[in-house]
A and B are shown apart, each in its own frame.
Chain A
Amino acid sequence: MSRILLGAVVWFLLFPITNQPVHGTEFSEDQIKAVYLFNFAEFIRWPDSAFTEHPEAFHFCALNEQSSIIRILKKVINGETAGARKLVFRRINNQDDLKGCQLVYFQASEQSKLAGLLPKLKMRNILTVGDTEDFAKRGGMIGIARHNRHLHPVINVQRLKQAGLKASAKLLRLAFVVDGE
């Protein structure tokens, strides 16, 4: 019940109508994207070995804590859990070891930084999510595309697999699946 309330409050009061008139109530793109991030924690499976550092938490990581998406995300995940793990946000910087992150979000402007971080990502069970459509082709795993006012996830399943992650068929069903190197 609290979740419904939370959802309603978040969507209605805190953020005004944007250009996304989905099911009557309009949500902003950022709102939707934040929810996407939230939901990726549900619909993608991380192996247990990904949680050795902090087994009790699931970490969302991003470079810019102050972006609107991240702010929304922080509110959304407050008090929530994925499975038994509580959801937590952590800010990172270029030099940081990405250990302890399960999901790393790249804003459109930050995408260039991806290339630099790739070696750190290797051999780690980290999901990389980007704000752009071609993120999944350019080295990332999940991008977000925008068609006809609708947002869709774009998933590079191979890279996901290489990182040891598994995406639920339910997610794959509504996502665009792409190949990349």
Chain B
Amino acid sequence: MRFLKNTPIRRKIISIIMIICTVVLLVAYSIIAYKQWHFRRQSLRDSLSTLTRVIGINSSASLAFHDPETGREILSALKFEEQVVSAELFSSDGELFASYRSQYSEPQKDLCWIIKNTPINFRFLTPDEETDEVEEAKYDACYLEISQKIRLSSRKVGSIRLRVNLMKLYESFIHQSLLVGGVLLAMLFFAFLLASYLQKSISRPVLHLANIMRRVSSYEGYALRAKAEGNDELGDLINGFNEMLDRIQQHEEFLSQANKGLSIAKKEAESAKNVAEQANQSKTEFLANISHELRTPMHSILSFSNLGIKNLDKAPLTKLQSYFSKIQESGTRLMLLLNDLLDLAKLEAGRVEFNFIDADLAKILDCCVGEREACLQERGMVVNVLPSECITMGVFDPEKIALVIVNLLSNAVKFTPEGKQIFVSIAEDTLPAGRRKNDQGWQKALRLVVRDEGVGIPEDEFESVFDKFIQSSKTKSGAGGTGLGLAICKEIIEGHHGRIWAENTPNGGAVFSFIIPQNHAKLSA
């Protein structure tokens, strides 16, 4: 079956069916033809035998009474049987008694010669001779000859011999064979049509599966599925294939999810790294800054101390005084810085206790402004406290809040050029009550806004200014400040469960706002 190995499945199935049909039909045809041939031959022999017998019986009288004329007459009836070539009556001693010869029935000599001399051995088809007690039959390529004894009671009165042309036998056999052959060929053609139609039940699912497989492999993806048509093994194959694709698809999705997760994790790790680096950077900057900030006053203290010690005898009192005041200044500055650091550290560690008491925000504001008065005057700036139209009483930690306000004011001063104004106002506002998302309640809150006319904050730094150790990029280097101020403010405000943020005014100045709940105690935790 190697020759079928590489043919497409449709042709394979059709070929198989056609080969089977052809072989079966050929074998059947051959067997039937063989049987038919023998049957026809025997039929001819039988009918000829009967004919001979009838003629013989009828001729018995003519033989017995030596009447050859009557014998001839009887034989001449054979002219109605076309196949009979000749007939002879013999008397009991073997002498020819009467004869008949047909005018029509001689077969073609050359045809007989061909049949006689064909290389195929026809002996198995036609025996040479068959003899029994009753008659003798001799076969030739073209003739069959039958001889019978004619008897009266038990005595032989003569014999009869009939000779018949076999052409008709051959002709009708060939004719029938061709007819049946034609019918079989038509049947084969019909079988071909039927096979072409019926092979689809096998080839269609297979080709469909192959097609889907090809498409899946050529990167159409794993979303394709083949359609199972029936409940047979092909259906099982297709279902198995689909299941496989399901699993592959699952794995693929899983992988891509994992991939996504990985890349997200990677990004997060990167950003965490960035943040860490940034934090590190900031920390380094901060440390650099801090050490600078610490060193400067320290330097000042030490140098002025040294100077004082050196010049204790020589220097006038006023100079000494100035030295001491310088020392004090630096020391104070150092103290402030250290306090800030400590405060922030404590705030971050959560080790600061807020002291929530009833207090007046407006009063605290006035206090803070008053504290900064001197500084403001120096720079020719004015703090414009807008009158508040609401109740400014609330529950909060006044010291911490004061710290925040002072910080905001300091920043405003720092970043506003001389001669400009700073506006501060207090107003009512609301904050969402409760930490749970479902709580739709609002609570009363107070909002304090500090607006300056300075350089403003770069937009991308609105959030980051509240970060620790971060200073605005617009800060002049060495302008002082630790970068911790706003961070401390944020910690404090958030400790009050409030909110603090920064914006810019349309004019360019910065606006710092914070909201704190008015009645802290009423918050649900």
CA distance A114 to B436 in the complex (A): 164
Number of A-B contacts (CB under 8 A): 67
- Taking the closest CB of chain B, its distance from the CB of A142, in whole angstroms, is 11
Q: Does B93 contact A (CB under 8 A)?
A: yes
The answer, among A7, A80, A83, for a CB contact under 8 Å with B92, is: A7
Q: Across the interface, do B93 and A174 meet the contact criterion of CB distance under 8 Å?
A: no
Partner pick for A23 among B61, B64, B68, B154, CB 8 A cutoff:
B68
- Residue ID in chain A nearest B64 by CB atoms: A39
Interface 9-mer from A48-56, A97-105, A121-129, A148-156: A148-156
Contacts of B67 in A (CB 8 A): 150, 152, 174
* Closest chain A CB from B484 CB (angstroms): 157
CB closest chain-B residue, reference A43:
B61
Max count, chain A CB within 10 A of own CB: residue among B58, B65, B69: B65
Tell me if A78 counts as interface (CB < 8 A to partner B).
no
Q: Knowing A23-B97, A170-B58 are in contact, say whether A39-B92 is a contact too (CB < 8 A).
A: no
B518 contacts chain A at the CB level, 8 A cutoff: no
Q: What string of 1s and 0s marks CB contacts (under 8 Å) between A130-164 and chain B?
A: 00000000000000000000111100000000000
| Smallest CB separation, A129 vs chain B (Å) | 13
Quick check: is B319 within 8 A (CB to CB) of the other chain? no
Q: How far is the CA of A42 from the CA of B152 in the complex (A)?
A: 7
Say which one of A24-32, A63-71, A88-96 lies at the interface with B.
A24-32
The answer, yes or no, to whether B66 is at the interface (CB within 8 Å) is yes
B62 at the interface (CB under 8 A from A): yes
Q: A110 to chain B: closest CB distance in Å?
A: 23
Contact B66 A32 (CB under 8 A): yes
The distance from the CB of A71 to the nearest CB of chain B, in whole angstroms, is: 19
Taking a contact as CB atoms closer than 8 A, the residue among B61, B93, B97 that contacts A11 in the complex is B93
Chain A hits for B64, CB < 8 A? 35, 39, 42-43
The answer to whether A42 and B153 touch across the interface, beta carbons within 8 angstroms, is: yes
Judged by a CB distance under 8 angstroms, whether B156 is at the interface is yes
Chain A residues with CB under 8 A of B154 = 81
B93 touches A3 (CB 8 A): no
Cβ proximity bits B62-101 to A, threshold 8 Å, 1 near / 0 not: 1011111110000000000000000000011101110000
A174/B61 contact (C-beta < 8 A), A4-B156, A81-B153 known? yes
User: Does A168 make an interface contact (CB < 8 A)?
Assistant: yes
The verdict on B60 contacting chain A, using a C-beta distance below 8 Å, is yes
Q: Please tell me which one of the listed residues A25, A27, A80, A150 contacts residue B155 in the complex, with CB atoms under 8 A apart.
A: A80
- By a CB distance below 8 angstroms, the chain A residues around B96 are 23-24
List residues of chain B with CB within 8 A of the CB of A24: 95-96
- Nearest Cβ distance between residue B92 and chain A, in whole angstroms? 5
A99 and B177 alpha carbons, distance in the complex (Å):
69
Closest to A38 in B: B64
B156 x A150 contact (CB < 8 A): no
Q: Which residue of A7, A82, A150 contacts B153 across the interface (Cβ within 8 Å)?
A: A82
Q: How far is the CA of A170 from the CA of B57 in the complex (A)?
A: 9
Which of B68, B153, B154 has its CB near the most chain A CB atoms (within 10 A)?
Answer: B153
Taken together as a complex, chains A and B put the C-alpha atoms of A171 and B62 apart, in Å, by 8
B155 / chain A contacts, CB cutoff of 8 Å: 3, 80
In the assembled complex, the CB of B238 is this many whole angstroms from the nearest CB of chain A, namely: 87
Contact (Cβ within 8 A) B65 A4: no
Chain B residue with the shortest CB-CB distance to A8: B93
When chains A and B are docked, how far (Å) is the Cα of A39 from the Cα of B155? 11
- Assuming the contacts A3-B155, A24-B95, asked whether A171 and B66 have C-beta atoms less than 8 A apart, the reply is no
Contact for B61 among A4, A80, A81, A171, CB less than 8 A: A171
Residues of A within 8 Å of B93, CB to CB, are 4, 7-8, 11, 25
Give the docked Cα–Cα distance between A151 and B64 (Å): 12
Which residue from chain A places its CB closest to the CB of B155 in the assembled complex?
A3
**Centre residue among A7, A8, A25, A36 by max chain B CB count within 10 A:** A7
Task: Find out whether the CB atom of A150 lies under 8 angstroms from the CB atom of B69.
Answer: yes
How does the 8 Å CB contact mask read for B141-162 relative to A, with 1 for contact and 0 for none? Answer: 0000000000011111000000
Decide: A170 and B60 in contact? CB cutoff 8 A. yes
| Contact A168 to B153, CB < 8 A, known contacts A7-B93, A152-B67 | no
CA distance A7 to B154 in the complex (A): 14
Q: Which residues of B contact A14 (CB under 8 A)?
A: none
CB-defined contacts of A80 to chain B, threshold 8 Å: 155
Q: Which residues of B contact A22 (CB under 8 A)?
A: 66, 68
Say how far A22's CB is from chain B's closest CB, in angstroms: 5
Chain B residues in 8 Å Cβ range of A82: 153
- Whole-angstrom distance from the CB of B347 to the nearest CB of chain A? 155
The CB with the most chain B CB atoms within 10 A, among A25, A42, A151, is that of A42
Whether the Cβ atoms of A25 and B70 lie closer than 8 Å is no
A sample of 7 inter-chain contacts (CB < 8 A) reads A4-B92, A4-B156, A27-B66, A170-B60, A170-B62, A174-B62, A174-B67
Given contacts A22-B68, A23-B68, 4 further A-B contacts (CB under 8 A): A7-B93, A80-B155, A82-B153, A173-B62
Q: Which residues of A contact B (CB under 8 A)?
A: 3-4, 7-8, 11, 22-25, 27, 32, 35-36, 39, 42-43, 80-83, 150-153, 168, 170-171, 173-174
Interface residues of B (CB under 8 A from A): 57-58, 60-62, 64-70, 91-93, 95-97, 152-156
Task: Report the 6 A-B pairs with minimum CB-CB distance, sorted nearest first.
Answer: A170-B61, A174-B70, A3-B155, A39-B64, A174-B67, A23-B95
